[in-house]
Amino acid sequence: MSALPVLHERGQREVFCGLTGIMWLHRKIQDAFFLIVGSRTCAHLMQSAAGVMIFAEPRFATAIIEDRDLAGLADSNEELDRVVSDLVARRPEIKTLFLVGSCPSEVIKLDLGRAAARLSQRLNAVRVLAYSGSGIETTFTEGEDACLEALVPEMPTLATKTRPSLLVVGALPDVVEDQFARMFSALGIEDVGFLPARSVDALPPVGPDTRYLLAQPFLGRTAHALEERGARHLPATFPFGVEGTTSWLRAAADAFGVRSGRFDEVVGPPAKRATRAIAHYAELLEGKRVFFFPDSQLEIPIARFLTREMGVQLIEVGAPYIHRDHMARELALLPRDVTLSEGQDVERQLDRCRAAAPDIAVCGLGLANPLEVEGITTKWSIELVFTPLHGYEQAGDLAELFARPLNRRSRLEV
Ligand code: SF4
């Protein structure tokens, strides 16, 4: 664990809830449907977050459960069963249905785990699972953690083998998943699975011969569930930027006995291309001062990339929570003079940001407009999740994401 002191904050937070993860999970898991059991607020959130992306019949919806007291619970369960039955009859292509919990008290009173078991039995051909995306329990990306945790018991058991298999954990855009699959294959690691898979029916097996790499830094509960099934973690930095990607691939290569000559042969050319792609942006970003508000949980790995490969000066790196084990290698690479904060007290953090007057503040949508009005250039942290940024081929896009707001501001000032 890094010796960096951590500023712990427990005040008001300005982060999305875990429902937001449905935005990328429903695109990744192509035979699943996400039914939010929630309120009108949840429906509005999903509508505005997804508004520009709906071009076909979406694979998520909200069952609105409101204004019930305890006496109305039986009705709520009946109503939920009716909504699910109607949905499945209308959309026969649904093979897996996630009931996603939210924070209204009417929903908290419902036992969605039991409802999922009951409906799975009743519906037969549809697997019904449940997890919580409630804003009380989850921040923005923790919804993915909760969803993947719910999938782990569904993974088949890996047969005992002479050689281990590799599991990559965390939702990646298909194009990035394909790039990594090709790279592992070129390294001679053939038995590779991804969680989540594109189809719940094709979930990879797991067992004591599984070695897993985390592709995302917000999967503590999923990792725990995998360990319970015997899988073992390969500690590494996260695959952002050239350094992070190389160290991530090396962790797998070392665990699978890949010769260092072969590693260099496979990794060398794309790593060089990525170094060239980011060099152009380093000129613009070098020396710029960046302040991270806690939001996506990607803050620490991205900050490490920015400071070590782009020459950025970090002022504060805030994260909703810090998983000490998963973050150990990232924290060891951060400069000693950075303020690392965990949790949030938004007013105090805004004061620190204003006092520091950074060149870029990375923050959630709710803070971006007020900060821009005050003359502080912002980068929406939601873009870090929605843009393909992992791996060598995307390193240039990652750098460009931070160069763009500076370019925009300088054009506005001309
Ligand atoms: S789950 Fe809670 S925080 Fe999220 S939209 Fe619904 S009511 Fe709001």
Cβ–Cβ < 8 Å for 325, 333:
no
Q: Among all chains, which residue has been given the structure tokens 């204004």?
A: 67
Annotated domain spans of the chain:
18-138, 165-264, 278-413
CA distance 362 to 294: 8
Ligand 1 contact via 119 beta carbon (within 6 Å)? no
Question: Do 18-138 and 165-264 come out as alike in CATH topology?
Answer: yes
Give the model's pLDDT for residue 411.
Answer: 66
17, 46, 139, best to mutate for ligand 1 pocket (most atoms within 8 Å of CB): 17
Beta bridge partner(s), residue 132: 101
Ligand 1 contact via 17 beta carbon (within 6 Å)? yes
105: Cβ contacts below 8 Å, ≥ 6 apart: none
Ligand 1 contact via 64 beta carbon (within 6 Å)? no
Ligand 1 contact via 132 beta carbon (within 6 Å)? no
CATH number attached to the domain at 165-264: 3.40.50.1980
Give the model's pLDDT for residue 412.
Answer: 61
Report DSSP letters for 356-403, one per residue: H--SEEEE-HHHHHHHHHTT--EEETHHHHHS--BSSTTHHHHHHHHH
Q: How many residues does the chain have?
A: 414
- Each residue of 204-224: pLDDT tens digit? 999 999 999 999 999 999 999
CA distances from 56 to 2, 27, 53, 197 (A): 46, 11, 9, 21
Ligand 1 contact via 377 beta carbon (within 6 Å)? no
Report DSSP letters for 291-353, one per residue: EEPSSSS-HHHHHHHHHHHS-PEEEEEEES---HHHHHHHHTTS-TT-EEEEEE-HHHHHHHH
* Class of the CATH domain delimited by 18-138: alpha beta
Give the model's pLDDT for residue 300.
Answer: 97
Ligand 1 contact via 100 beta carbon (within 6 Å)? no
> Given its phi and psi angles, is residue 127 left (phi above 0), alpha (psi -120 to 50 degrees) or beta?
beta
249: Cβ contacts below 8 Å, ≥ 6 apart: 183, 187, 239, 263, 267
Cβ–Cβ < 8 Å for 201, 155:
no
User: Can you read off the two tokens belonging to residue 86?
Assistant: 């109607």
Q: Give the residues of the chain that fall short of pLDDT 50.
A: 1-2, 52
Cβ–Cβ < 8 Å for 28, 175:
no
Ligand 1 contact via 43 beta carbon (within 6 Å)? no
Q: How far is the CA of 353 from the centre of ligand 1 (A)?
A: 27
Q: How far is the CA of 52 from the centre of ligand 1 (A)?
A: 20
- Each residue of 351-394: pLDDT tens digit? 999 999 999 999 988 899 999 999 999 999 889 998 999 999 99
Cβ–Cβ < 8 Å for 189, 235:
no
Beta bridge partner(s), residue 247: none
Q: Which amino acid would we find at residue 89?
A: A
Q: Hey, CA dihedral for 142, 147, 153, 156, is it positive or negative? A: negative
What is the CB neighbour count within 10 angstroms for residue 231?
24
Choosing among 3.10.20.30, 3.40.50.1010, 3.40.50.1980, 3.40.50.720, the CATH entry for 278-413 is 3.40.50.1980
Q: Dihedrals φ, ψ of 259, to 5°?
A: -65, 145
Terminal Cα-to-Cα distance of the chain (whole angstroms): 46
CA distance 339 to 330: 15
Closest residue by Cα to residue 252 from 175, 187, 304: 187
Give the model's pLDDT for residue 86.
Answer: 93
CA distance 224 to 272: 35
What is the number of the ligand 1 atom nearest to the C-alpha of 45? 5
CA distance 357 to 359: 7
